[in-house]
């Protein structure tokens, strides 16, 4: 199968899977009905046996609870990673905020994630219809998250400051050539950091995309704008990101947005919001 076939199918599914455009109901403010949350995704292809997936299992990288593509799907050949950039409407609304997420951002975090999950499941089904095996880690019953060190039993290495899951979409995207990490720990793609990721592990073989970078932070210019935007002071140019402070701030956003939540102030109003920042602004 040609990559172009996958890209075309992905574009079709992005257009036809329901849920990317807000409608009224579920407490969504009527003025946002008709707003599109996510732009067409970037797509990257990585080898299922890329040595980086083994490296992610090491303590201090992610940890041994992180599952490799072959564990998700026996016979896996390729990881297909997707970055869904947030639309200008969502980003613009969050740019104006200084304490917590905008309503639109919270909708994109919750209803938008439902759309992305549906799209990933549709991509998985599409591969199966073509005769391949496919696994969507985020929809798989084995997917588990780690919150403040809790959520996955049996791993002594999980400290109480650990947040994550058995499959890191951002780390998969890094393997697939989509971008590098920033100080805020988001992944900076050529469409920026403001967006969400998904992935599908498949038995179809594709040539891995090149990674046009060598270091995990190559695209971050260390401007510190994300640190200045963070209401929880969870980002520091010297010490990096404090996930405990961040998680606490995101949880507190429920006071404003329940049943939703969100923040993402470090992803908007910053040089890496919608593209790779120019090193001239370093």
Positions touching ligand SF4 (CB under 6 A) are 182-184, 220-226, 229-230, 232, 234-235, 246, 249-250, 263-266, 270-272, 277
Least distance to ligand SF4 from the beta carbon of 71, Å?
29
Q: Which helix H or strand E contains 179, and what residues bound it? A: strand 179-181
Least distance to ligand SF4 from the beta carbon of 232, Å?
4
Closest-by-Cβ residue to ligand SF4 is 182
Neighbours of 148 (CB within 10 A): 15
Least distance to ligand SF4 from the beta carbon of 136, Å?
25
How far, in Å, are 6, 21, 155, 196, 268 from residue 186 at the CA level? 26, 24, 25, 10, 11
For ligand SF4, give the closer residue by CB, 134 or 193. Answer: 193
For ligand SF4, give the closer residue by CB, 124 or 262. Answer: 262
β-pair partners for 41: none
Assess contact for 219 and 276: CB atoms under 8 A: yes
Least distance to ligand SF4 from the beta carbon of 47, Å?
27
CA dist., res. 55 & res. 62, Å (int): 8
* b/e per residue 221-244 (b: at least 16 CB within 10 A): bebebbbebbbbebbeeeeebbee
Assess contact for 216 and 179: CB atoms under 8 A: no
Least distance to ligand SF4 from the beta carbon of 119, Å?
23
For ligand SF4, give the closer residue by CB, 198 or 264. Answer: 264
For ligand SF4, give the closer residue by CB, 172 or 223. Answer: 223
For ligand SF4, give the closer residue by CB, 71 or 218. Answer: 218
């Amino acid at each position: 199968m040609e990559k172009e076939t996958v890209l075309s199918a992905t574009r079709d599914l992005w257009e036809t899977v329901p849920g990317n455009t807000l409608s009224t109901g579920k407490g969504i403010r009527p003025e946002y009905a008709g707003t599109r949350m996510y732009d067409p995704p970037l797509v990257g292809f990585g080898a299922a046996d890329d040595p980086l997936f083994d490296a992610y299992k090491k303590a201090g990288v992610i940890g041994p609870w992180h599952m490799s593509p072959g564990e998700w799907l026996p016979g896996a050949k390729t990881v297909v990673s997707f970055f869904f950039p947030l639309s200008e409407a969502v980003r613009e609304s969050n740019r104006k905020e200084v304490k917590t997420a905008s309503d639109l951002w919270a909708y994109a975090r919750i209803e938008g994630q439902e759309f992305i999950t549906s799209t990933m499941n549709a991509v998985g089904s599409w591969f199966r219809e073509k005769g391949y095996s496919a696994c969507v880690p985020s929809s798989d019953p084995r997917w588990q998250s780690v919150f403040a060190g809790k959520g996955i039993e049996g791993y002594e290495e999980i400290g109480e400051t650990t947040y994550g899951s058995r499959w890191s979409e951002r780390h998969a995207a890094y393997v697939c050539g989509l971008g590098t990490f920033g100080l805020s720990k988001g992944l900076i793609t050529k469409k920026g950091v403001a967006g969400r990721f998904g992935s599908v592990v498949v038995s179809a073989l594709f040539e891995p995309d090149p990674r046009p970078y060598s270091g995990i932070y190559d695209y971050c210019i260390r401007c510190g704008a994300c640190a200045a935007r963070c209401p929880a002071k969870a980002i520091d140019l010297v010490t990096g990101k404090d996930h405990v402070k961040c998680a606490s701030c995101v949880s507190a956003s429920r006071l404003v947005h329940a049943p939703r939540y969100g923040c993402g102030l470090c992803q908007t109003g910053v040089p890496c919001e919608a593209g790779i920042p120019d090193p001239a602004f370093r």
